[in-house]
Each structure stands twice: as C-alpha cells, then as structure tokens.
C-alpha cells in the first residue's frame, strides 16, 4: 500500500542571527499508511513539531521531499499550498486556536467557508460534526463558555469539517487533565476508524502514544526508532 504521507531526507535550519543558526531537522524520513494513527515523541528540540508542520504544509523544508497522497508537495507555494491545507489536511493544536468572539458552530463553519463551501452548507456540516463530538447542545456557546475539553472537541470538529484525509495534532491533549485527555484521544480514534482518517500526533504523553497504532521517536532532528502497538 502506498503511504499517504512520505517524508524523505528532510532538513530544516532556522537562522537565529548572522552567524547563529540551529539545525532542527537533519535528514528526517517517515512514512505513514492511510488510516494509520501515529504518535511522534521525543525530547524538546528533537524536531518533532517541525516535522509535523512540514508534513502538514505549514512549513517548508530546506531539502528533501514531502509527499501527500501520492503527490509531491514540498515545492508548492501560495494559493495552491493554501488550497491543499484547507481541503486535505486538518489541524488540532494544544491551545485550541478558536476565534473567541465566534460560537462553536461559527468556528467550525468558518473552516468550511474558507475551503469554498457556502455559508448555509458550511453551517449544516458544522452542526452535524458538533453533534458527533457530543456538543449538539453547545453549538451557540462561545469558547469562553466551554471547558477545555469541550473547546478541543470544537477544534476536532473544525479539523474534520472539510473531510481531510490527514489530521495533524500538535500536543492536542497538552492542556487537558487525564480523564479529558482520554476522552479526546478516544474521539480521535473513533474518527480514525469511522472515516479512515490518518492522524499524526505530536505528544509528550505516553498514554496518548499507547492509544496510537505506532509511536515514532525522534532525537537530534532524525527519526531514531519506532514501536508498533500490540494487537
């Protein structure tokens, strides 16, 4: 089976000053199968978030290749890149990143509208997704009126609203307590199984990693090993 994500020999250097720089990725390679749920772990500075951002087309590599769904994407720019991100990749962040003056429904529908859906159809799909994540009675609430776990459920609905084949999560349970974290991981797993959505999750939490199909470990800017979950 052809991988849905293939990263081959990717490097990334961030320049901090005229004579000061840091090599975050040093030839990292990774393949992820369609429908797989993969955790990326490693110490701070190992390059795991940068690798995920490059895989999700939020950042570009200095060298190497990035392939999504059989298409090379590391050379895309501008509108083409924005279109790819909007329609094929969903994102879940630790800080939720919800618009504070918009309701749960409006936050989710906005992502669909950005991808080209009409306001009416975006609202219909957003409402259905909020029902699926257990927030059917909270669609008109602002983020400030929701708990952390509820806000992350809104963020998951937003990530799924355009039917992406891949969802990237950057510490999606980092600000949540253990019980709520377990609920969020179960919700992502349900979406993975129901829709064959591929999840790539950067995490420091071993419990989150154990819920995934495979854990990839990074160190010093490269993939340093991996563990497949027991059946």
Give residue-wise pLDDT tens across range 13-45. Answer: 998 877 788 999 999 999 999 999 999 999 998
Instruction: Tell whether pTM > 0.95.
Output: no
What was the pLDDT predicted at 194?
Answer: 84
Residue 73 confidence class, pLDDT cut points 50, 70, 90: very high
What was the pLDDT predicted at 230?
Answer: 60
Residue 169 confidence class, pLDDT cut points 50, 70, 90: very high
pLDDT mean across residues, the chain? 91
Domains (range + CATH), the chain? 5-97+164-228 (3.40.50.300)
What was the pLDDT predicted at 119?
Answer: 94
- Report the percent of the chain where pLDDT is more than 70: 99
8 contact partners, CB below 8 Å, separation of at least 6 = 29, 64, 65, 66, 67
Contact 216, 41 (CB under 8 A): yes
**Mean pLDDT for the stretch of residues 93-111:** 93
Q: Which two tokens stand for residue 66?
A: 């990035």
- Decide: helix, strand or coil at residue 27: strand
Strands (E) in the chain, as ranges, are: 5-17, 20-32, 37-41, 63-68, 71-72, 89-93, 166-170, 198-202, 214-219, 222-228
Cβ neighbours, 10 Å, residue 25: 28
- Our measurement of the distance from residue 4's CA atom to the centroid of its chain's CA atoms, rounded to an integer in Å, reads 14
- Burial class of residue 98, CB neighbours in 10 A (0-12, 13-18, 19+): buried
pLDDT of residue 175 exceeding 60, the answer is yes
What was the pLDDT predicted at 141?
Answer: 97
Measured N-to-C along each axis, helices 148-160 and 178-195 cross at an angle, to the nearest 10 degrees, of 20
What was the pLDDT predicted at 231?
Answer: 52
Q: Which two tokens stand for residue 74?
A: 């590391």
What was the pLDDT predicted at 110?
Answer: 94
Residue 85 confidence class, pLDDT cut points 50, 70, 90: confident
**Mean pLDDT for the stretch of residues 178-202:** 90
**What are the angstrom distances between the C-alpha of 7 and each of 10, 204, 226?**
7, 22, 15
What was the pLDDT predicted at 176?
Answer: 87
Looking at per-residue pLDDT, the higher value among 78 and 161 belongs to: 161
pLDDT of residue 113 exceeding 70, the answer is yes
Among positive and negative, which fits the CA dihedral 221, 86, 190, 154? positive
């Amino acid at each position: 089976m052809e991988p849905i994500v293939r990263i081959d020999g990717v490097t990334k250097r961030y320049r901090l000053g005229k004579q000061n720089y840091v090599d975050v990725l040093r030839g990292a390679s990774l393949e992820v199968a369609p429908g797989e749920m993969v955790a990326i772990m490693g110490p701070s500075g190992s390059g795991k978030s940068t690798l995920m951002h490059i895989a999700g087309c939020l950042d570009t590599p200095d060298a190497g290749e990035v392939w999504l769904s059989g298409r090379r994407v590391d050379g895309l720019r501008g509108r083409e890149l924005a279109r790819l991100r909007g329609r094929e990749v969903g994102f879940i962040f630790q800080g939720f990143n919800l618009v504070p003056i918009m309701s749960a429904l409006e936050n989710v529908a906005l992502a669909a509208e950005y991808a080209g859906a009409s306001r009416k159809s975006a609202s219909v799909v957003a409402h259905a997704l909020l029902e699926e994540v257990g927030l059917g009675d909270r669609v008109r609430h602002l983020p400030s009126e929701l708990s952390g776990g509820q806000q992350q459920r809104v963020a998951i609905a937003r990530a799924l609203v355009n039917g992406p084949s891949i969802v990237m999560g950057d510490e999606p349970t980092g600000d949540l307590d253990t019980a709520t974290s377990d609920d969020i991981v179960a919700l992502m797993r349900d979406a993975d199984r129901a829709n064959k959505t591929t999840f790539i999750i950067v995490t420091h939490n071993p419990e989150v990693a154990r819920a995934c199909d495979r854990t990839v470990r990074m160190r010093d800017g490269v993939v340093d090993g991996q563990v497949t979950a027991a059946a």
